[in-house]
Amino acid sequence: MVSSTDTRGTADKVRFPREIWVLVGASFLIAIGYGLIAPALPSYAASFDVGVTAASVVISAFAAVRLAFAPVSGRLVTRFGERPTYLWGLSIVAAGSLACAFAQDYWQLLIFRSLSGVGSTMFTVSAIGLLIRISPPQVRGRASGLWGTSFLLGGIAGPIVGAALVTVSLRAPFLFYGGALLLTTALVWWQLRGSELVSRAAEETEPAMTFRQALRHPTYRAALMSNFTNGWVVLGIRASLLPLFVTAVLMKGEEFTGIALAVFAAANAAVLLVAGKFADTRGRKPPALAGLALLAVGMVLLGQASEPWLFLVAVLIAGLGGGALNPSQNAAVADVLGVKARGGGVLAGFQMAADVGAVLGPLVAGAIAEKVSYGVAFGVTGAVAAVALVAWTLARETLPAAQDPGGHDTEHSAQDAAVEDCSPDCGGRP
């Protein structure tokens, strides 16, 4: 058994493979592009002489298609591998975005935007699989934190550029985004085309882990719950209920909403890399537990905030929680899958948990805020985080030891634990 000190020393010496930096750079470019079209999409849809509801459907259709196609994406990853699925996914989103720029009516825009949702879930699921495959076990948390930080920074920069492009034309952001994705696809293909680290061995015959088998592992179940919470809070409530609370309760304008969202993003970015390093040296559970606790406290405080300064403090706490949670839960899922990362359904299920949370969060919390109060709505959101916190309390630590005394890789603890949890019908493999 290797001590935590030995593991930390080994982890500090491990360097990121070049392929990780390729994924990080691509993540940044993708996030910028996604942010580019965010300011334009509602107005662009409304320009086809449709109402607010129809314009909103264009936005929700993207998320709905992502959710529906996620299981298929998981099967594509298992069948064809991460790299082809990733490149095809990027290409589909590029084609869909360029088609949106030339849409002649509302229905064409709806179809083309929905098509982009298919590609989006393909490259999201495969990107997680690639990150797992190419990250040494000792730096999985930091790799995940770096990847998440690049996406977050791109998401911050994107709307700034997108707002400028909208002044030129409502179609301009889609043209720019589609072109940027085509360039990103070409660059990723060029950089990874000869990578043995990314490629799967032709003779690889080990069966892929299924979603049902992974579900027997308590840590994977906890990761599903926490990613559902992440989708509910970070992807859903932050973008929907938080701006409404600012205007309806605090009686502040859109500029204050922008400040609040910037505080959340800054807190998130500040802790991502730190949490990733902690997850690699001390364990996956501590930062996951801390992140969920901060999310729960932050959400409850948000609902009780009557002063702008208290509201910003609550936003800061929630942002720190989101940043602490993500690297640890991603690394834990990687540990459960193991080095070979064969399990597209497992990755798809993990991604779907966040998507379901992102869809349900605004709907449920919004209805509660409208019928009861914002305080109760944010309280329920805090309760969702608390349930995930309980699940992680019961989870098993999956941080692998770096090496055994004989120098052999011992990164099998999570898979072996899953085998122990597995019933005979698993065929001896988690």
Tally of domains in the chain: 2
Q: What is the pLDDT of residue 427?
A: 37
pLDDT tens readout for residues 333-351: 888 887 655 567 888 888 8
What would the mean pLDDT of 234-242 be, rounded to a whole number? 79
325, 291 Cβ separation under 8 angstroms:
yes
- From 202, 217, 236, the end of a domain falls on 202
Indicate if 283 and 311 belong to the same structural domain.
yes
SS3 letters across the chain: CCCHHHHHHHHHHCCCCHHHHHHHHHHHHHHHHHHHHCCCHHHHHHCCCCCHHHHHHHHHHHHHHHHHHHHHHHHHHHHHCHHHHHHHHHHHHHHHHHHHHCCCCHHHHHHHHHHHHHHHHHHHHHHHHHHHHHCCHHHHHHHHHHHHHHHHHHHHHHHHHHHHHHCCCCCHHHHHHHHHHHHHHHHHHHHHCCCCCCCCCCCCCCCCCCHHHHCCCHHHHHHHHHHHHHHHHHHHHCCCHHHHHHHHCCCCCHHHHHHHHHHHHHHHHHHHHHHHHHHHHCCCHHHHHHHHHHHHHHHHHHHHCCCHHHHHHHHHHHHHHHHHHHHHHHHHHHHHHCCCCCCHHHHHHHHHHHHHHHHHHHHHHHHHHHHCCHHHHHHHHHHHHHHHHHHHHCCCCCCCCCECCCCCECCCHHHHHHHHHCCHHHCCCC
Q: What is the pLDDT of residue 14?
A: 64
Residue type, 38: A
Q: Which domain range does residue 25 map to?
A: 15-202
Please state which of the ranges 8-22, 81-95, 288-302, 412-426 shows the lowest mean pLDDT.
412-426
For residue 1, tell me if it sits in a domain: no
pTM summary value: 0.78
Q: What is the pLDDT of residue 386?
A: 96
Residue 126 has pLDDT above 60, yes or no: yes
Give the model's confidence band at 12: pLDDT under 50 very low, under 70 low, under 90 confident, else very high: low
Rounded to whole angstroms, the Cα distance separating 172 from 176 reads: 6
Give the model's confidence band at 112: pLDDT under 50 very low, under 70 low, under 90 confident, else very high: very high
Mean pLDDT of the chain: 81
| Cα–chain center distance at 319 | 15
Give the model's confidence band at 207: pLDDT under 50 very low, under 70 low, under 90 confident, else very high: low
Indicate if 221 and 356 belong to the same structural domain.
yes
Indicate if 262 and 305 belong to the same structural domain.
yes
- From 202, 226, 245, the end of a domain falls on 202
Residue 139 has pLDDT above 70, yes or no: yes
Residue 406 has pLDDT above 50, yes or no: no
Most confidently modeled range among 177-181, 283-287, 415-419: 283-287
Dihedral angle sign, alpha carbons of residues 275, 276, 282, 286: positive
Residue 430 has pLDDT above 50, yes or no: no
What would the mean pLDDT of 369-373 be, rounded to a whole number? 87
- From 202, 223, 251, the end of a domain falls on 202
Rounded to whole angstroms, the Cα distance separating 389 from 117 reads: 31
The domain that holds 83 is classified in CATH as 1.20.1250.20
What would the mean pLDDT of 93-109 be, rounded to a whole number? 92
Indicate if 123 and 216 belong to the same structural domain.
no
What would the mean pLDDT of 132-136 be, rounded to a whole number? 79
For residue 9, tell me if it sits in a domain: no
For residue 8, tell me if it sits in a domain: no
Give the model's confidence band at 383: pLDDT under 50 very low, under 70 low, under 90 confident, else very high: very high
Indicate if 196 and 214 belong to the same structural domain.
no
Please state which of the ranges 54-68, 280-294, 303-317 shows the lowest mean pLDDT.
54-68
Q: What is the pLDDT of residue 205?
A: 55
Tokens of 8: 């930390």
Please state which of the ranges 18-22, 381-385, 400-404 shows the lowest mean pLDDT.
400-404
Give the model's confidence band at 79: pLDDT under 50 very low, under 70 low, under 90 confident, else very high: confident
| Cα–chain center distance at 221 | 17
